[in-house]
Amino acid sequence: GGFLEKLSLKGGKLSLHSTVVQAVNGISLDILEGETLSVVGESGCGKSTLARCVIGIHTPDSGEVRFRGNRIDNLTPKAMMPYRAKMQMVFQDPYSSLNPRLTVQKTLEEPLRFHNPGIKNGEVKDRIAEVMEQVGVDPMWAQRYPHEFSGGQRQRVSIARALVVDPAFIVADEPISALDVSVQAQILNLLMETQEKRGLSYMFISHDLSVVRHISSRVAVMYLGSLCELADAETLYAEPRHPYTKALLSAIPKLNGEKSHISLKGEVPSPINLPTGCVFHGRCPHADTRCVQEIPEAKPCGTGLVACHRVEEGVL
């Protein structure tokens, strides 16, 4: 059944300095129980804004977010409280997302007490030890500060902070891209093991299709605030349909070392001045006049959705 049953957003705005740009353009997605939906695109494509709209840190102009059937995008902070615990976020940079003045104990205790008023001290201690154990940080280190840990360990603490309130859904925004390559796989494995143990659903944000290949149930590809393609992971990697997905995939070296790089024309345009028609038309090797004039709608295609006139016309 649907988990985030209806997530349709229009005009999630992002202010960069004083200029407000449209970061999310009529996106419609759902996330199923226990699945990992990865959202992939180059920086500035609106994927972080999308994540923040989902979790309620950011308000879209229109559209709605439903959590297990209940609309949550228009709730008061108080009414939103029970959902807050159920939806947690893990951020990219474990150096800036942990408060340097709080011990691990305090870092975990704060959200735990906030969401469980009246919880007994003994239970706080037990829950913290349990969750530290689960993420692979020795509970003996509960009195240590973030600067005493490595980047990988800090990200484990961030994951513990998300888990301690017993969420059902975690948005992970580039959770490994600030880490040493040597620990990236460990953190990915930890996230996957935790998902299995706790039956969690994930929305995993990444700029790199190769990173999410083995962890995704489905993948959504975004470009300049618009959804290009959504498909089962297996289908997306084997038979990409959208020209942008094809270009992103062609940049990943194959196992035999072979590359089939599709080079795109030009650069990513400024989101302040969005192109007409298909936002990808200036860079697409298949663009024609219709692409310059008409915005392609995301239409059912294969296992998901594709927003491309020429795929719809059967040309691609």
Q: Which stretch binds ligand SF4 (CB under 6 A): 24-32, 120-128, 129-137, 276-284?
A: 276-284
CA dist., res. 61 & res. 10, Å (int): 6
Q: Which stretch binds ligand SF4 (CB under 6 A): 28-36, 86-94, 145-153, 278-286?
A: 278-286
**Contact status, residue 220 vs residue 37, Cβ threshold 8 Å:** yes
Q: Kindly state whether residue 97 participates in binding Mg ion, applying the rule CB under 5 A.
A: no
Give, in degrees to the nearest 5, the angle at Cα 47 between 300 and 76.
Answer: 100
CA dist., res. 78 & res. 9, Å (int): 22
CA dist., res. 66 & res. 35, Å (int): 16
Q: Which stretch binds ligand SF4 (CB under 6 A): 28-36, 110-118, 158-166, 305-313?
A: 305-313
Q: What are phi and psi of 85, to 5 degrees?
A: -65, -35
Nearer to ligand SF4, 165 or 279 (CB): 279
Q: Kindly state whether residue 206 participates in binding Mg ion, applying the rule CB under 5 A.
A: no
CB of 296 to ligand SF4, least distance (A): 4
Beta strand ranges found along 247-312 (DSSP E): 299-301, 304-306
Measured from the Cβ of residue 181, the count of other Cβ atoms closer than 10 Å reads: 7
CB of 26 to ligand SF4, least distance (A): 15
CB of 273 to ligand SF4, least distance (A): 17
**Contact status, residue 307 vs residue 228, Cβ threshold 8 Å:** yes
Q: Roughly how many angstroms between the first and final C-alpha of the chain, as a whole number? A: 32
DSSP helix, strand, coil percent of the chain (3-state; round to 5): 35, 25, 40
Q: With contacts defined by CB under 5 A, how many residues of the chain interact with Mg ion? A: 1
Q: Kindly state whether residue 220 participates in binding ligand SF4, applying the rule CB under 6 A.
A: no
Candidate residues 284, 298, 304, 305; the one interacting with ligand SF4 per rule CB under 6 A: 284
H helix or E strand, kind and range, residue 70: strand 70-71
CB of 271 to ligand SF4, least distance (A): 17
Nearer to ligand SF4, 66 or 290 (CB): 290
Q: Kindly state whether residue 47 participates in binding ligand SF4, applying the rule CB under 6 A.
A: no
Which residues from 6-65 bind Mg ion, rule CB under 5 A? 48
CA dist., res. 154 & res. 306, Å (int): 38
Q: Kindly state whether residue 225 participates in binding ligand SF4, applying the rule CB under 6 A.
A: no
Region of residue 247 (left: phi > 0; alpha: psi -120 to 50; beta: else): alpha
Which residue's beta carbon is nearest to the bound Mg ion? 48
CB of 227 to ligand SF4, least distance (A): 12
Q: Kindly state whether residue 241 participates in binding ligand SF4, applying the rule CB under 6 A.
A: no
Nearer to ligand SF4, 161 or 309 (CB): 309
Candidate residues 41, 44, 146, 243; the one interacting with ligand SF4 per rule CB under 6 A: 243
User: By the criterion CB under 5 A, which residues form the site for Mg ion?
Assistant: 48
User: By the criterion CB under 6 A, which residues form the site for ligand SF4?
Assistant: 243, 278, 280-281, 284, 286-287, 291, 296, 308-310
